[in-house]
Chain A
Protein backbone atom coordinates (compact mmCIF):
# COMPACT_ATOMS: atom_id res chain seq x y z
CA UNK A 1 0.00 0.00 0.00
CA UNK A 2 1.49 3.29 -1.04
CA UNK A 3 1.28 6.34 1.11
CA UNK A 4 0.69 9.77 -0.39
CA UNK A 5 0.74 13.12 1.26
CA UNK A 6 -2.17 15.17 0.05
CA UNK A 7 -2.48 18.88 0.58
CA UNK A 8 -5.66 20.86 0.17
CA UNK A 9 -5.89 22.18 -3.39
CA UNK A 10 -5.46 25.94 -3.90
CA UNK A 11 -8.94 27.42 -3.91
CA UNK A 12 -10.28 28.54 -7.26
CA UNK A 13 -12.43 31.25 -5.73
CA UNK A 14 -11.77 33.01 -2.43
CA UNK A 15 -13.98 35.74 -0.99
CA UNK A 16 -12.86 37.22 2.32
CA UNK A 17 -14.69 39.83 4.36
CA UNK A 18 -16.61 41.10 1.32
CA UNK A 19 -18.89 44.02 2.15
CA UNK A 20 -21.43 45.81 0.02
CA UNK A 21 -23.91 48.56 0.83
CA UNK A 22 -26.64 50.25 -1.17
CA UNK A 23 -27.03 53.71 0.30
CA UNK A 24 -27.31 53.25 4.06
CA UNK A 25 -28.42 49.64 3.71
CA UNK A 26 -25.57 47.18 4.25
CA UNK A 27 -26.37 43.96 2.39
CA UNK A 28 -23.06 42.12 2.77
CA UNK A 29 -21.25 42.54 6.09
CA UNK A 30 -18.25 40.29 5.51
CA UNK A 31 -18.79 37.29 3.25
CA UNK A 32 -16.15 34.55 3.47
CA UNK A 33 -16.26 31.78 0.89
CA UNK A 34 -13.71 29.36 -0.55
CA UNK A 35 -14.38 27.09 -3.49
CA UNK A 36 -11.82 24.45 -4.47
CA UNK A 37 -11.21 23.44 -8.10
CA UNK A 38 -13.98 21.22 -9.48
CA UNK A 39 -15.96 21.67 -6.28
CA UNK A 40 -19.64 22.55 -6.32
CA UNK A 41 -20.70 25.06 -3.66
CA UNK A 42 -24.31 26.07 -3.07
CA UNK A 43 -25.15 29.32 -1.31
CA UNK A 44 -28.48 29.23 0.48
CA UNK A 45 -30.36 31.84 2.46
CA UNK A 46 -33.67 33.65 2.72
CA UNK A 47 -34.89 36.05 0.03
CA UNK A 48 -33.04 39.35 0.02
CA UNK A 49 -30.18 38.11 2.21
CA UNK A 50 -27.55 39.01 -0.39
CA UNK A 51 -26.93 35.79 -2.30
CA UNK A 52 -27.29 37.35 -5.76
CA UNK A 53 -25.30 40.40 -4.65
CA UNK A 54 -22.49 38.03 -3.61
CA UNK A 55 -22.47 36.48 -7.08
CA UNK A 56 -22.56 39.87 -8.80
CA UNK A 57 -19.67 41.10 -6.65
CA UNK A 58 -17.69 38.01 -7.59
CA UNK A 59 -18.16 38.76 -11.30
CA UNK A 60 -17.52 42.48 -10.85
CA UNK A 61 -21.06 43.34 -12.01
CA UNK A 62 -21.33 45.14 -8.68
CA UNK A 63 -18.32 46.79 -7.08
CA UNK A 64 -17.73 45.40 -3.58
CA UNK A 65 -17.07 48.07 -0.95
CA UNK A 66 -14.42 46.12 0.90
CA UNK A 67 -12.78 42.76 1.51
CA UNK A 68 -10.99 40.57 -0.98
CA UNK A 69 -12.15 38.52 -3.97
CA UNK A 70 -9.56 36.29 -5.57
CA UNK A 71 -9.93 34.07 -8.61
CA UNK A 72 -7.01 31.67 -8.96
CA UNK A 73 -5.07 33.89 -6.58
CA UNK A 74 -5.62 37.11 -8.56
CA UNK A 75 -7.26 39.94 -6.65
CA UNK A 76 -10.35 41.23 -8.39
CA UNK A 77 -11.42 44.09 -6.12
CA UNK A 78 -9.94 47.21 -7.64
CA UNK A 79 -9.02 45.37 -10.85
CA UNK A 80 -9.17 47.31 -14.12
CA UNK A 81 -11.86 46.85 -16.75
CA UNK A 82 -9.70 44.66 -18.99
CA UNK A 83 -8.66 42.41 -16.12
CA UNK A 84 -12.29 42.01 -15.09
CA UNK A 85 -13.30 41.21 -18.66
CA UNK A 86 -10.57 38.59 -18.93
CA UNK A 87 -11.68 37.06 -15.65
CA UNK A 88 -15.34 36.97 -16.76
CA UNK A 89 -14.36 35.00 -19.86
CA UNK A 90 -13.47 32.13 -17.56
CA UNK A 91 -16.98 32.04 -16.09
CA UNK A 92 -20.27 30.86 -17.48
CA UNK A 93 -23.39 32.07 -15.73
CA UNK A 94 -27.07 31.36 -15.81
CA UNK A 95 -29.50 33.93 -14.43
CA UNK A 96 -32.61 33.36 -12.36
CA UNK A 97 -34.99 34.23 -15.21
CA UNK A 98 -32.77 33.04 -18.02
CA UNK A 99 -31.80 36.50 -19.31
CA UNK A 100 -31.87 35.18 -22.87
CA UNK A 101 -31.76 37.89 -25.53
CA UNK A 102 -35.33 38.26 -26.79
CA UNK A 103 -34.34 39.67 -30.14
CA UNK A 104 -32.00 36.83 -31.09
CA UNK A 105 -32.86 33.26 -32.11
CA UNK A 106 -31.65 30.44 -29.88
CA UNK A 107 -28.57 29.62 -31.95
CA UNK A 108 -27.35 33.20 -31.65
CA UNK A 109 -28.05 33.21 -27.91
CA UNK A 110 -26.11 29.97 -27.38
CA UNK A 111 -23.10 31.01 -29.45
CA UNK A 112 -23.17 34.68 -28.44
CA UNK A 113 -19.87 34.69 -26.57
CA UNK A 114 -18.13 32.31 -28.98
CA UNK A 115 -18.95 34.67 -31.84
CA UNK A 116 -17.62 37.64 -29.89
CA UNK A 117 -14.34 35.86 -29.27
CA UNK A 118 -13.63 34.13 -32.56
CA UNK A 119 -14.48 34.41 -36.20
CA UNK A 120 -16.84 31.65 -37.32
CA UNK A 121 -19.32 31.20 -40.11
CA UNK A 122 -23.03 31.24 -39.49
CA UNK A 123 -23.17 27.52 -40.25
CA UNK A 124 -20.39 26.70 -37.79
CA UNK A 125 -22.20 28.66 -35.07
CA UNK A 126 -25.49 26.91 -35.84
CA UNK A 127 -23.77 23.51 -35.69
CA UNK A 128 -22.21 24.29 -32.31
CA UNK A 129 -25.56 25.57 -30.98
CA UNK A 130 -27.39 22.46 -32.22
CA UNK A 131 -24.76 20.14 -30.70
CA UNK A 132 -24.85 21.96 -27.35
CA UNK A 133 -28.62 22.03 -26.99
CA UNK A 134 -29.03 18.40 -28.04
CA UNK A 135 -26.60 17.47 -25.24
CA UNK A 136 -29.11 19.14 -22.94
CA UNK A 137 -32.06 17.19 -24.28
CA UNK A 138 -33.54 19.76 -26.65
CA UNK A 139 -34.36 19.07 -30.28
CA UNK A 140 -31.94 20.57 -32.80
CA UNK A 141 -34.70 22.49 -34.61
CA UNK A 142 -35.17 24.65 -31.49
CA UNK A 143 -32.11 26.69 -32.55
CA UNK A 144 -34.26 28.65 -34.99
CA UNK A 145 -36.89 29.60 -32.43
CA UNK A 146 -36.90 32.71 -30.24
CA UNK A 147 -36.76 32.63 -26.40
CA UNK A 148 -40.38 33.78 -26.06
CA UNK A 149 -41.51 30.68 -27.97
CA UNK A 150 -40.00 28.30 -25.39
CA UNK A 151 -41.33 27.03 -22.06
CA UNK A 152 -39.62 27.98 -18.77
CA UNK A 153 -37.80 24.65 -18.57
CA UNK A 154 -36.58 24.93 -22.16
CA UNK A 155 -35.39 28.48 -21.53
CA UNK A 156 -33.39 27.25 -18.52
CA UNK A 157 -31.76 24.61 -20.73
CA UNK A 158 -30.91 27.20 -23.37
CA UNK A 159 -29.46 29.45 -20.67
CA UNK A 160 -27.35 26.51 -19.49
CA UNK A 161 -26.30 25.84 -23.08
CA UNK A 162 -25.23 29.48 -23.45
CA UNK A 163 -23.22 29.23 -20.23
CA UNK A 164 -21.35 26.06 -21.21
CA UNK A 165 -21.01 26.61 -24.98
CA UNK A 166 -17.42 27.84 -24.76
CA UNK A 167 -16.47 25.38 -22.01
CA UNK A 168 -15.71 27.78 -19.12
CA UNK A 169 -13.62 26.79 -16.09
CA UNK A 170 -16.17 28.09 -13.62
CA UNK A 171 -19.96 28.02 -13.69
CA UNK A 172 -22.33 30.19 -11.69
CA UNK A 173 -26.01 29.33 -11.38
CA UNK A 174 -28.51 31.82 -9.97
CA UNK A 175 -31.64 29.93 -8.86
CA UNK A 176 -31.39 27.35 -11.65
CA UNK A 177 -34.64 25.57 -10.75
CA UNK A 178 -36.82 28.49 -9.65
CA UNK A 179 -40.25 28.52 -11.25
CA UNK A 180 -39.94 24.94 -12.51
CA UNK A 181 -41.99 21.93 -11.53
CA UNK A 182 -40.09 19.30 -9.47
CA UNK A 183 -39.60 16.94 -12.39
CA UNK A 184 -38.20 19.60 -14.71
CA UNK A 185 -36.16 20.96 -11.80
CA UNK A 186 -34.66 17.49 -11.31
CA UNK A 187 -33.82 17.28 -15.00
CA UNK A 188 -32.11 20.68 -14.90
CA UNK A 189 -30.12 19.58 -11.83
CA UNK A 190 -28.90 16.45 -13.55
CA UNK A 191 -27.95 18.48 -16.63
CA UNK A 192 -26.03 20.90 -14.42
CA UNK A 193 -24.26 18.03 -12.67
CA UNK A 194 -23.45 16.38 -15.98
CA UNK A 195 -22.16 19.63 -17.51
CA UNK A 196 -20.03 20.49 -14.49
CA UNK A 197 -18.47 17.02 -14.44
CA UNK A 198 -17.93 16.89 -18.20
CA UNK A 199 -16.19 20.27 -18.19
CA UNK A 200 -14.34 19.63 -14.92
CA UNK A 201 -15.68 23.02 -13.86
CA UNK A 202 -15.89 24.68 -10.49
CA UNK A 203 -19.51 25.52 -9.70
CA UNK A 204 -21.21 28.03 -7.47
CA UNK A 205 -24.97 27.88 -7.20
CA UNK A 206 -27.53 30.07 -5.47
CA UNK A 207 -30.69 28.25 -4.57
CA UNK A 208 -33.71 28.14 -2.28
CA UNK A 209 -34.57 24.69 -3.50
CA UNK A 210 -33.14 22.29 -0.93
CA UNK A 211 -33.85 19.21 -3.04
CA UNK A 212 -31.79 20.80 -5.80
CA UNK A 213 -29.02 21.77 -3.37
CA UNK A 214 -28.78 18.19 -2.12
CA UNK A 215 -28.44 16.93 -5.69
CA UNK A 216 -25.83 19.33 -7.04
CA UNK A 217 -23.74 20.63 -4.14
CA UNK A 218 -20.61 19.16 -2.53
CA UNK A 219 -20.52 22.01 -0.05
CA UNK A 220 -23.17 24.40 1.27
CA UNK A 221 -22.85 27.90 2.73
CA UNK A 222 -25.73 29.74 4.36
CA UNK A 223 -25.94 33.54 4.28
CA UNK A 224 -27.82 35.36 7.00
CA UNK A 225 -27.50 38.97 8.09
CA UNK A 226 -24.91 39.61 5.40
CA UNK A 227 -22.43 36.98 6.64
CA UNK A 228 -21.91 33.24 6.18
CA UNK A 229 -23.31 31.64 9.32
CA UNK A 230 -22.43 28.09 8.33
CA UNK A 231 -20.37 26.43 5.62
CA UNK A 232 -19.74 22.73 5.36
CA UNK A 233 -20.29 19.53 3.38
CA UNK A 234 -23.78 19.11 1.95
CA UNK A 235 -24.05 15.78 3.76
CA UNK A 236 -23.79 17.60 7.12
CA UNK A 237 -26.30 20.38 6.63
CA UNK A 238 -29.03 18.46 8.47
CA UNK A 239 -27.10 18.36 11.74
CA UNK A 240 -25.26 21.67 12.02
CA UNK A 241 -26.80 22.54 15.39
CA UNK A 242 -27.42 26.09 14.15
CA UNK A 243 -31.12 26.96 14.55
CA UNK A 244 -31.25 29.22 11.45
CA UNK A 245 -29.69 26.55 9.23
CA UNK A 246 -31.93 23.86 10.70
CA UNK A 247 -35.06 25.95 10.09
CA UNK A 248 -34.08 26.88 6.53
CA UNK A 249 -32.91 23.41 5.48
CA UNK A 250 -36.10 21.80 6.77
CA UNK A 251 -38.39 24.61 5.61
CA UNK A 252 -39.90 25.11 9.06
CA UNK A 253 -42.31 27.96 9.77
CA UNK A 254 -41.21 28.21 13.40
CA UNK A 255 -37.71 29.27 14.30
CA UNK A 256 -35.41 32.26 14.47
CA UNK A 257 -35.95 33.19 10.80
CA UNK A 258 -39.25 35.02 11.28
CA UNK A 259 -40.23 37.58 8.66
CA UNK A 260 -39.44 40.34 11.17
CA UNK A 261 -36.01 38.85 11.92
CA UNK A 262 -35.29 38.55 8.19
CA UNK A 263 -36.27 42.18 7.63
CA UNK A 264 -34.07 43.24 10.55
CA UNK A 265 -31.15 41.20 9.19
CA UNK A 266 -31.57 42.92 5.81
CA UNK A 267 -31.59 46.29 7.52
CA UNK A 268 -35.16 47.11 6.35
Chain B
Protein backbone atom coordinates (compact mmCIF):
# COMPACT_ATOMS: atom_id res chain seq x y z
CA UNK B 1 0.00 0.00 0.00
CA UNK B 2 2.79 2.42 0.95
CA UNK B 3 4.65 1.55 -2.23
CA UNK B 4 1.48 2.31 -4.22
CA UNK B 5 1.07 5.70 -2.51
CA UNK B 6 4.76 6.42 -3.05
CA UNK B 7 4.30 5.74 -6.75
CA UNK B 8 1.36 8.11 -6.94
CA UNK B 9 3.29 10.78 -5.06
CA UNK B 10 6.36 10.35 -7.24
CA UNK B 11 4.32 10.50 -10.44
CA UNK B 12 2.45 13.60 -9.25
CA UNK B 13 5.68 15.36 -8.33
CA UNK B 14 7.27 14.43 -11.66
CA UNK B 15 4.18 15.71 -13.49
CA UNK B 16 4.20 19.01 -11.60
CA UNK B 17 7.95 19.38 -12.19
CA UNK B 18 7.40 18.80 -15.92
CA UNK B 19 4.63 21.44 -15.98
CA UNK B 20 6.93 23.87 -14.18
CA UNK B 21 9.80 23.18 -16.61
CA UNK B 22 7.48 23.64 -19.58
CA UNK B 23 6.09 26.90 -18.17
CA UNK B 24 9.60 28.28 -17.63
CA UNK B 25 10.65 27.14 -21.10
CA UNK B 26 7.58 28.77 -22.67
CA UNK B 27 8.21 32.03 -20.82
CA UNK B 28 11.85 32.08 -21.93
CA UNK B 29 10.95 31.14 -25.51
CA UNK B 30 8.38 33.93 -25.80
CA UNK B 31 10.72 36.43 -24.18
CA UNK B 32 13.57 35.64 -26.60
CA UNK B 33 11.34 36.05 -29.64
CA UNK B 34 11.10 39.77 -28.93
CA UNK B 35 14.64 40.43 -27.65
CA UNK B 36 17.46 41.34 -30.08
CA UNK B 37 19.55 40.11 -31.79
CA UNK B 38 17.17 38.57 -34.31
CA UNK B 39 18.49 35.63 -36.29
CA UNK B 40 16.72 36.41 -39.55
CA UNK B 41 18.55 33.76 -41.54
CA UNK B 42 17.45 31.10 -39.08
CA UNK B 43 13.91 32.50 -39.25
CA UNK B 44 13.97 32.37 -43.05
CA UNK B 45 15.19 28.77 -43.00
CA UNK B 46 12.40 27.78 -40.65
CA UNK B 47 9.77 29.61 -42.69
CA UNK B 48 10.84 27.67 -45.78
CA UNK B 49 10.92 24.40 -43.81
CA UNK B 50 7.57 24.85 -42.13
CA UNK B 51 5.67 26.93 -44.66
CA UNK B 52 6.93 25.90 -48.05
CA UNK B 53 7.87 22.24 -47.58
CA UNK B 54 4.66 21.46 -45.67
CA UNK B 55 2.48 22.70 -48.53
CA UNK B 56 2.24 19.36 -50.41
CA UNK B 57 1.21 17.35 -47.35
CA UNK B 58 -1.29 19.97 -46.17
CA UNK B 59 -2.64 20.40 -49.70
CA UNK B 60 -3.17 16.68 -50.21
CA UNK B 61 -4.76 16.24 -46.79
CA UNK B 62 -7.25 19.07 -47.20
CA UNK B 63 -7.99 18.21 -50.85
CA UNK B 64 -9.11 14.68 -50.03
CA UNK B 65 -10.82 15.75 -46.82
CA UNK B 66 -12.90 18.28 -48.79
CA UNK B 67 -13.74 15.60 -51.35
CA UNK B 68 -14.77 13.06 -48.71
CA UNK B 69 -16.74 15.69 -46.84
CA UNK B 70 -18.76 16.52 -49.96
CA UNK B 71 -19.59 12.84 -50.51
CA UNK B 72 -20.45 12.13 -46.88
CA UNK B 73 -22.55 15.23 -46.34
CA UNK B 74 -24.42 14.55 -49.59
CA UNK B 75 -25.18 11.00 -48.38
CA UNK B 76 -26.47 12.31 -45.06
CA UNK B 77 -28.37 15.37 -46.25
CA UNK B 78 -30.01 13.53 -49.16
CA UNK B 79 -31.96 11.55 -46.55
CA UNK B 80 -33.98 14.66 -45.69
CA UNK B 81 -33.72 16.38 -49.05
CA UNK B 82 -31.18 18.96 -48.00
CA UNK B 83 -28.58 18.24 -50.69
CA UNK B 84 -28.40 21.96 -51.48
CA UNK B 85 -26.51 22.58 -48.26
CA UNK B 86 -23.52 20.42 -49.25
CA UNK B 87 -21.45 23.36 -50.49
CA UNK B 88 -22.16 25.34 -47.31
CA UNK B 89 -21.35 22.39 -45.07
CA UNK B 90 -18.09 21.78 -46.90
CA UNK B 91 -16.87 25.37 -46.73
CA UNK B 92 -17.85 25.88 -43.08
CA UNK B 93 -16.39 22.55 -41.97
CA UNK B 94 -13.16 23.10 -43.83
CA UNK B 95 -12.57 26.71 -42.79
CA UNK B 96 -13.72 26.48 -39.18
CA UNK B 97 -12.54 23.00 -38.27
CA UNK B 98 -10.99 20.54 -40.68
CA UNK B 99 -8.51 22.87 -42.36
CA UNK B 100 -6.76 24.04 -39.18
CA UNK B 101 -6.97 20.73 -37.30
CA UNK B 102 -5.82 18.50 -40.15
CA UNK B 103 -3.09 20.92 -41.20
CA UNK B 104 -2.03 21.20 -37.56
CA UNK B 105 -1.84 17.45 -37.07
CA UNK B 106 0.04 16.90 -40.32
CA UNK B 107 2.53 19.67 -39.53
CA UNK B 108 2.90 18.31 -35.99
CA UNK B 109 3.96 14.97 -37.49
CA UNK B 110 6.29 16.51 -40.02
CA UNK B 111 7.76 19.58 -38.33
CA UNK B 112 7.35 18.78 -34.62
CA UNK B 113 9.26 15.54 -35.13
CA UNK B 114 12.02 17.14 -37.19
CA UNK B 115 12.49 20.00 -34.71
CA UNK B 116 12.74 17.60 -31.77
CA UNK B 117 15.15 15.35 -33.66
CA UNK B 118 17.37 18.21 -34.83
CA UNK B 119 17.56 20.02 -31.49
CA UNK B 120 17.79 16.71 -29.61
CA UNK B 121 20.76 15.65 -31.74
CA UNK B 122 22.36 19.03 -31.10
CA UNK B 123 21.84 18.46 -27.38
CA UNK B 124 23.40 14.98 -27.29
CA UNK B 125 26.34 16.02 -29.48
CA UNK B 126 27.13 19.07 -27.29
CA UNK B 127 26.26 21.52 -30.08
CA UNK B 128 23.93 23.39 -27.71
CA UNK B 129 26.72 23.76 -25.14
CA UNK B 130 28.98 24.84 -28.00
CA UNK B 131 26.51 27.63 -28.84
CA UNK B 132 26.77 28.85 -25.26
CA UNK B 133 30.56 28.93 -25.48
CA UNK B 134 30.36 30.83 -28.77
CA UNK B 135 28.50 33.84 -27.33
CA UNK B 136 25.13 32.69 -28.64
CA UNK B 137 22.06 31.98 -26.54
CA UNK B 138 20.58 28.67 -27.71
CA UNK B 139 17.05 29.77 -26.80
CA UNK B 140 17.42 32.80 -29.02
CA UNK B 141 19.23 31.09 -31.88
CA UNK B 142 17.38 27.78 -32.01
CA UNK B 143 14.02 28.15 -30.27
CA UNK B 144 12.83 31.71 -30.97
CA UNK B 145 13.03 31.52 -34.80
CA UNK B 146 11.14 28.20 -34.78
CA UNK B 147 8.40 29.57 -32.54
CA UNK B 148 7.97 32.68 -34.69
CA UNK B 149 8.06 30.69 -37.94
CA UNK B 150 5.54 28.13 -36.62
CA UNK B 151 3.13 30.81 -35.44
CA UNK B 152 3.37 32.79 -38.69
CA UNK B 153 3.36 29.93 -41.19
CA UNK B 154 0.46 27.82 -39.99
CA UNK B 155 -2.21 30.46 -40.77
CA UNK B 156 -0.88 30.78 -44.34
CA UNK B 157 -0.77 27.01 -44.72
CA UNK B 158 -4.32 26.75 -43.41
CA UNK B 159 -5.55 29.51 -45.72
CA UNK B 160 -4.14 27.65 -48.71
CA UNK B 161 -5.45 24.37 -47.27
CA UNK B 162 -8.92 25.93 -46.94
CA UNK B 163 -8.93 26.91 -50.60
CA UNK B 164 -7.74 23.47 -51.69
CA UNK B 165 -10.25 21.71 -49.40
CA UNK B 166 -13.14 23.78 -50.77
CA UNK B 167 -11.86 23.09 -54.27
CA UNK B 168 -11.90 19.34 -53.46
CA UNK B 169 -15.53 19.65 -52.38
CA UNK B 170 -16.28 21.57 -55.58
CA UNK B 171 -14.71 18.86 -57.77
CA UNK B 172 -16.81 16.13 -56.16
CA UNK B 173 -19.93 18.30 -56.01
CA UNK B 174 -19.78 19.27 -59.68
CA UNK B 175 -18.23 16.24 -61.37
CA UNK B 176 -19.51 13.42 -59.18
CA UNK B 177 -22.73 14.67 -57.63
CA UNK B 178 -23.89 16.73 -60.59
CA UNK B 179 -24.21 20.18 -58.98
CA UNK B 180 -24.30 23.19 -61.24
CA UNK B 181 -20.85 24.86 -60.93
CA UNK B 182 -22.13 28.40 -60.51
CA UNK B 183 -24.80 27.33 -58.02
CA UNK B 184 -22.21 25.36 -56.03
CA UNK B 185 -19.91 28.38 -55.92
CA UNK B 186 -22.66 30.80 -54.94
CA UNK B 187 -23.79 28.41 -52.17
CA UNK B 188 -20.17 28.16 -51.01
CA UNK B 189 -19.91 31.92 -50.57
CA UNK B 190 -23.52 32.65 -49.54
CA UNK B 191 -23.28 31.71 -45.88
CA UNK B 192 -19.52 32.01 -45.41
CA UNK B 193 -18.62 34.82 -43.03
CA UNK B 194 -15.33 36.54 -42.51
CA UNK B 195 -15.30 35.31 -38.91
CA UNK B 196 -15.40 31.66 -40.08
CA UNK B 197 -12.10 32.12 -41.86
CA UNK B 198 -10.48 34.20 -39.11
CA UNK B 199 -11.45 31.65 -36.46
CA UNK B 200 -9.61 28.99 -38.47
CA UNK B 201 -6.58 31.24 -38.85
CA UNK B 202 -6.50 32.06 -35.13
CA UNK B 203 -6.60 28.34 -34.39
CA UNK B 204 -3.81 27.78 -36.90
CA UNK B 205 -1.59 30.37 -35.23
CA UNK B 206 -2.18 28.72 -31.83
CA UNK B 207 -1.45 25.27 -33.30
CA UNK B 208 1.72 26.54 -35.00
CA UNK B 209 2.95 27.98 -31.71
CA UNK B 210 2.22 24.74 -29.86
CA UNK B 211 3.85 22.52 -32.49
CA UNK B 212 7.07 24.57 -32.48
CA UNK B 213 7.05 24.85 -28.68
CA UNK B 214 6.66 21.09 -28.18
CA UNK B 215 9.25 20.24 -30.84
CA UNK B 216 11.79 22.62 -29.30
CA UNK B 217 10.99 21.71 -25.68
CA UNK B 218 11.33 17.96 -26.13
CA UNK B 219 14.43 18.34 -28.31
CA UNK B 220 16.04 20.76 -25.86
CA UNK B 221 15.46 18.37 -22.96
CA UNK B 222 16.32 15.25 -24.92
CA UNK B 223 17.88 12.36 -23.04
CA UNK B 224 21.28 10.95 -23.94
CA UNK B 225 21.93 8.85 -27.01
CA UNK B 226 19.80 7.72 -29.93
CA UNK B 227 17.13 6.41 -27.58
CA UNK B 228 16.80 9.82 -25.91
CA UNK B 229 16.41 11.59 -29.25
CA UNK B 230 13.89 8.97 -30.43
CA UNK B 231 11.83 9.44 -27.28
CA UNK B 232 11.99 13.22 -27.62
CA UNK B 233 10.70 12.96 -31.18
CA UNK B 234 7.80 10.73 -30.19
CA UNK B 235 6.92 12.93 -27.22
CA UNK B 236 6.98 16.04 -29.41
CA UNK B 237 4.49 14.57 -31.89
CA UNK B 238 2.19 13.04 -29.26
CA UNK B 239 2.13 16.08 -26.98
CA UNK B 240 1.62 18.59 -29.80
CA UNK B 241 -1.18 16.47 -31.28
CA UNK B 242 -2.96 16.28 -27.93
CA UNK B 243 -2.47 20.00 -27.31
CA UNK B 244 -3.85 20.77 -30.77
CA UNK B 245 -7.04 18.86 -29.98
CA UNK B 246 -7.43 20.43 -26.54
CA UNK B 247 -6.70 23.96 -27.70
CA UNK B 248 -9.02 23.44 -30.68
CA UNK B 249 -11.91 23.03 -28.27
CA UNK B 250 -10.78 25.93 -26.07
CA UNK B 251 -10.40 28.37 -28.97
CA UNK B 252 -13.74 27.26 -30.48
CA UNK B 253 -15.47 27.67 -27.10
CA UNK B 254 -13.87 31.09 -26.66
CA UNK B 255 -15.27 32.35 -29.98
CA UNK B 256 -18.51 30.35 -29.85
CA UNK B 257 -21.73 32.15 -30.51
Contact = CB atoms under 8 A, between A and B. Distances in A.
- Interface magnitude class on chain A: 20 to 34
Contact of A116 (B126, B127, B129, B135): B135
Contacts of A59: 132-133
A56 B134 CA distance: 14
B186 interface: no
Contacts of B132: 59, 61, 88
A116 B134 contact: yes
Which of B122, B130, B132 gathers most chain A CB within 10 Å? B130
A126 interface: no
Nearest to A59: B133
A123 B56 CA distance: 37
Which of A99, A113, A162 gathers most chain B CB within 10 Å? A99
Nearest to B133: A93
B135 A99 contact: no
Interface string B139-154: 0000000000000000
Which of A91, A95, A162 gathers most chain B CB within 10 Å? A95
B32 to A, nearest CB: 12
A113 B136 CA distance: 8
Contacts of B137: 85
Contact of A117 (B122, B126, B135): B135
A60 B37 CA distance: 22
A117 B121 CA distance: 26
Interface string A96-127: 11011110000000001100110000000000
B72 interface: no
Interface residues of B, number: 14
Contacts of B122: 101
B135 A97 contact: no
B125 interface: yes
Interface string B190-224: 00000000000000000000000000000000000
Contacts of A112: 134, 136
Interface in B30-51: 37
Nearest to A172: B133
A246 to B, nearest CB: 32
Nearest to A62: B129
A102 B135 CA distance: 18
B129 A162 contact: no
B136 A116 contact: yes
Contacts of A102: 121, 127
A96 B126 contact: yes
Contacts of A113: 134-136
A93 B135 CA distance: 12
28 contacts: A56-B129, A59-B133, A61-B129, A61-B132, A85-B135, A88-B135, A89-B135, A91-B133, A93-B130, A95-B126, A95-B129, A97-B125, A97-B126, A99-B126, A99-B129, A100-B127, A100-B130, A102-B121, A102-B127, A112-B134, A112-B136, A113-B134, A113-B136, A116-B134, A116-B135, A116-B136, A117-B135, A162-B134
Interface of A: 56, 59, 61, 85, 88-89, 91-93, 95-97, 99-102, 112-113, 116-117, 162
Interface of B: 37, 121-122, 125-127, 129-130, 132-137
Given A61-B133, A113-B135, 10 more contacts: A56-B129, A88-B133, A88-B135, A97-B125, A99-B126, A99-B127, A100-B127, A101-B127, A112-B136, A116-B135
